[in-house]
Amino acid sequence: CTGTDASSCLGKDAAWASTSSAIVSGDVVAWVSASSGQVVNCASTTGPCSQQNFPPPSGHWGTPLRIFKVDAAGEVAVAGATIHPGDSVYFYGMQKYDWAPTHIVNCVAGQCSGSASHTIAGSLFTLALPQPLLPATAIELQRDGSSVTWGAGLQPSEAAATQRWNLRKCTGTDASSCLGKDAAWASTSSAIVSGDVVAWVSASSGQVVNCASTTGPCSQQNFPPPSGHWGTPLRIFKVDAAGEVAVAGATIHPGDSVYFYGMQKYDWAPTHIVNCVAGQCSGSASHTIAGSLFTLALPQPLLPATAIELQRDGSSVTWGAGLQPSEAAATQRWNLRKCTGTDAS
């Protein structure tokens, strides 16, 4: 909604129809189902959210929700902070036309509801995109508010080409089929899945990181990798919120958490895990999976027209059914439509 309260968001269709600007922390939004075109209304404090028409008519103060981004440390972002696909967020609603920050919306199997008993930490959703990750997709490798930066390791996230990467995919699976074989990298456009062989290609330089060393930082090399550059190919694996590594072949989406391991002397070395800190990235057997996770974030901000999934632990909010196992279904796709107003009126 372009407004910020009940008076500017209820019974004001234009306040919802005219918004195309990026969604930021603190905005007033509604969960609009891609399958039904209706919304959830979480007015009740004792029962589940109901299903109502959109835009919300006068009196439907349970429909507008405020969205806030939350970082990996559990800190809530200030109002106005940009939200991207892949971010974690929570929502709170109104009670009797006034904002009620403790009336937090959460979902379990079967239903969603609003309640003062819900906590922020227990009510987080990841804004996941339904389309899989492609080699041509520009992404950021993020962790705790920082992004992997060309030649500089982890640095505070900003809108910079040096923090954008393509995970270019090799059609082969080993050194002999991926090194000195330019066509093996140039011809791949299929979705990236867990276990694939990829290279971190910098959007700013067109070069790659090469993490052959076990004692020093990754170097910067040409792409596609020539013969002998066995430090460039990496295997990518998705990791769920419980720390479980996905099986090879599992689809990877923007917003997922992943880790990477490389080769040692032309052979895959699953313990040679790539990690980044401020100033550098490196490969080492001392790196752990849990300590080397990156979120695949999209650099563009979240828009009201962007179809997203509200995910948690392998499940997605589903129209009329609360949290259900994630699948490619329209009932699990949502638009966070934004109101030009700020309150119910």
Flag whether pLDDT at 6 surpasses 70: yes
CA distance 57 to 77: 30
Tokens read off for 129: 């995109």
Query: Which distant-in-sequence residues (6+ apart) come within 8 Å of 246 by Cβ?
Result: 194, 237, 238, 239, 240
Tens digit of each residue's pLDDT (9 = 90 or more) over 220-268: 999 999 999 999 999 999 998 788 999 999 999 888 899 999 999 999 9
| Strands 340-344, 2-6: pairing kind | parallel
How confident is the model over 135-192, as pLDDT tens digits? Answer: 999 999 999 889 999 999 999 988 789 999 999 999 999 999 999 999 999 988 899 9
Q: What percent of the chain has pLDDT over 90?
A: 77
Looking at residue 173, what is its pLDDT? 96
Whether 343 has a pLDDT exceeding 70, the answer reads no
End-to-end, the C-alpha distance of the chain in Å comes to 12
What is the reported pLDDT for 4? 84
Residue 175, pLDDT score: 97
Q: Tokens representing 132? A: 């899989």
288 phi and psi angles, rounded to 5 deg: -100, 160
DSSP label at 42? -
* pLDDT greater than 70 at residue 48: yes
Give dist(CA 132, CA 136) in Å, integer.
Answer: 11
Amino acid 5: pLDDT = 87
How far is the CA of 257 from the CAs of 134, 238, 246, 300, in angstroms?
A: 15, 6, 11, 18
Per-residue confidence (pLDDT) for residue 214, from 0 to 100: 93
CA atoms within 13 A on the CB side of 286: 6
Would you give the distance in Å from CA 144 to the centre of its chain? 13
Considering only 25-34, 54-63, 75-84, which range has the smallest mean pLDDT? 75-84
Residue 340's pLDDT is what?
79
pLDDT band at 326 (very low <50, low <70, confident <90, very high): confident
Residue 292 gets which letter from DSSP?
G
Element (H, E) at 156: strand 153-156
Q: What is the pLDDT of residue 323?
A: 94
CA distances from 19 to 13, 154, 338, 341 (A): 11, 34, 6, 10
Residue type, 152: A
Given a cut of 70, is residue 277 above it in pLDDT?
Answer: yes
Tokens matching residue 45:
């404090």
Output the pLDDT for position 38. 97
128 by DSSP, 3-state: which?
strand
pLDDT of 232: 98
pTM of the model: 0.74
Strands 125-128 and 88-95: antiparallel
Instruction: At 163, list the tokens.
Output: 């923090």
Q: Which residues contact 89 (CB under 8 A, 6 or more apart)?
A: 67, 68, 69, 70, 83, 124, 125, 127
Helices of type H across 66-181: 175-178
Helices (H) and strands (E) in the chain, counts: 3, 26
- Mean per-residue pLDDT of the chain: 93
**pLDDT per residue as tens digits for the range 79-95:** 999 898 888 899 999 99
User: Does the pLDDT value for residue 200 go beyond 90?
Assistant: yes
